[in-house]
A = this chain, B = another copy of it.
Amino acid sequence: METSERIKKMGEPALLKYYPLVNEAQKKGKKVYFLNIGQPDIKTPESFLNSINCLDQKVLSYQAPEGIIELREAACDYYRRLGLDYGIDDLFVANGGSEALLFTFMGICNAGDEILTAEPLYSIYKEMAAATDVKLVGFKTYAEEGFALPDIAVIEAAITPKTKAILMTNPGNPTGKVFSKEEIEILVGLAIKYNLYLISDEVYREFVYDNQAYLSPAMYDELAQNFILIDSISKRYSACGARIGFIVSKNKGLMGQLKKLVQMRLSVSTVDQIGAISLLKLDGHFFDGILKEYTRRRAVVFAALKEIPGIICAEPRGAFYFMAKLPIRSACHFIEWMITDFDDQGETVLLSPANDFYLDPRDGADEVRIAYVLNSDDMKKSMEILKHGLAAYAQIFPEKCK
């Protein structure tokens, strides 16, 4: 029995593919630090479960496909606190940021249309593009340059008659890149000049370090008809298991069309929506302590990485990932070996190979992504394990090292 060409083009996200090996290792008693996935260890605010516990609905019924009005209102209030003026008709609740993106791809692209984005990129974008017959086109950014946008001419050269949108991730995953005002204005200008959508995936919005201000294409009125904001409560409130995202746009025509996609799947989880209302009502200071904690973790990891010979990495300005070049030839081989063959007093770490964050899988062969989602002690420990792992690997596989 045949499957579709689009599904055959999809890949397994690298951040998941080592789990069978990890299970084996754990069964043998090995402790694994999970630095491969953006699953924070921060406690989900109690208001989420408390509000669910207060639920007195006798029938757990469908909700409006666009989302519960109180949740959409709470989202508008949240955006207002950021200085953004959205009304409830400007946003739909989605099954996580993932569905928000999938529906956006389906809604703006025909089969064969192109979306332009910076590399390295969030690997799941590739799967969504394959699933919807969209072609992702990348322009490269580099750790050595702090993942800055390339010259505008490089981006313009990648725009074709098939290009429907520019997709930016701000702050960036896996790069930790936070776009400057100048960079945002370049993308805003290009979207207007070429009449493209500008999709801004801002699920890590609050994870910006060093007192940087929140900047977004959302602030440019002249872009309003071209602008689509993708959002999610997952990272912000450490609620990845509640599948609540948002598609936001002031383009009424677009939203009128996208409405058909949210109607197609009838409803988003009632319970998650009710929990999410309570989260969005938390005031801005809720995040202060969390940001302090992540700042600490970032410092611990950066200090440790600088001490490991041969590692090249920039300090991320946002999100909670380091992209690091290791002094090895195949990150995939090293990561697998760390799980199957190596341990440091019974412990090891799981990283993400960075080739998955590029469109051409030959890119990023010597890079890894390190998610600093564990507490500082565990991060410190993990970096020691990584250091010892690299040293042992160099002895066993000198030909695989640089």
With A and B bound together, what is the CA distance between A24 and B42 in angstroms? 45
In A263-278, the 8 Å CB interface with B consists of: 263-272, 275
Q: Is the CB of B7 within 8 A of A238?
A: no
Q: Is the CB of B44 within 8 A of A60?
A: yes
Residues of B within 8 Å of A124, CB to CB, are 264, 266
With A and B bound together, what is the CA distance between A128 and B257 in angstroms? 14
Choose among B7, B48, B62, B257 the residue that contacts A258 (Cβ–Cβ < 8 A). B7
Binds B, one of A102-110, A317-325, A326-334, A336-344: A102-110
With A and B bound together, what is the CA distance between A9 and B384 in angstroms? 56
- Given A60-B242, A239-B60, A7 and B261 contact (CB-CB distance below 8 Å): yes
1/0 contact trace for A116-128 toward B, CB 8 Å? 0000000010011
CB distance from A67 to the nearest CB of B (A): 12
**A26 beta carbon closer than 8 Å to chain B:** no
Number of copies: 2
1/0 contact trace for A251-264 toward B, CB 8 Å? 10110011111011
1/0 contact trace for A42-54 toward B, CB 8 Å? 1110001100110
- Given A3-B257, A241-B269, A264 and B110 contact (CB-CB distance below 8 Å): no
**A236 beta carbon closer than 8 Å to chain B:** no
**A186 beta carbon closer than 8 Å to chain B:** no
With A and B bound together, what is the CA distance between A11 and B1 in angstroms? 31
Nearest chain B residue, comparing its CB with the CB of A164: B2
**A111 beta carbon closer than 8 Å to chain B:** yes
Q: How many A residues are at the interface, by size bracket?
A: 35 or more
**A6 beta carbon closer than 8 Å to chain B:** yes
- Given A1-B253, A98-B266, A264-B102, A39 and B62 contact (CB-CB distance below 8 Å): yes
CB distance from A174 to the nearest CB of B (A): 15
With A and B bound together, what is the CA distance between A6 and B133 in angstroms? 12
1/0 contact trace for A223-251 toward B, CB 8 Å? 00110000000000011111100000001
**A366 beta carbon closer than 8 Å to chain B:** no
**A99 beta carbon closer than 8 Å to chain B:** yes
Q: Is the CB of B253 within 8 A of A271?
A: no
1/0 contact trace for A81-123 toward B, CB 8 Å? 0000000000000011011001000111111010000000000
- Given A1-B197, A59-B238, A111-B111, A96 and B266 contact (CB-CB distance below 8 Å): yes
**A5 beta carbon closer than 8 Å to chain B:** yes
Q: Is the CB of B59 within 8 A of A40?
A: yes
Q: Is the CB of A7 within 8 A of B241?
A: no
Q: Is the CB of A243 within 8 A of B263?
A: no
**A359 beta carbon closer than 8 Å to chain B:** no
**A13 beta carbon closer than 8 Å to chain B:** yes
Choose among B7, B106, B271 the residue that contacts A260 (Cβ–Cβ < 8 A). B7
**A58 beta carbon closer than 8 Å to chain B:** yes
A to B CB contacts below 8 Å, 5 in the list: A1-B226, A4-B113, A8-B257, A39-B61, A111-B111
Give the B-binding residues of A (Cβ under 8 A): 1-8, 10-13, 16, 37, 39-44, 48-49, 52-53, 55, 57-63, 65, 95-96, 98-99, 102, 106-111, 113, 124, 127-128, 131, 133, 164, 195, 197, 225-226, 238-243, 251, 253-254, 257-261, 263-272, 275
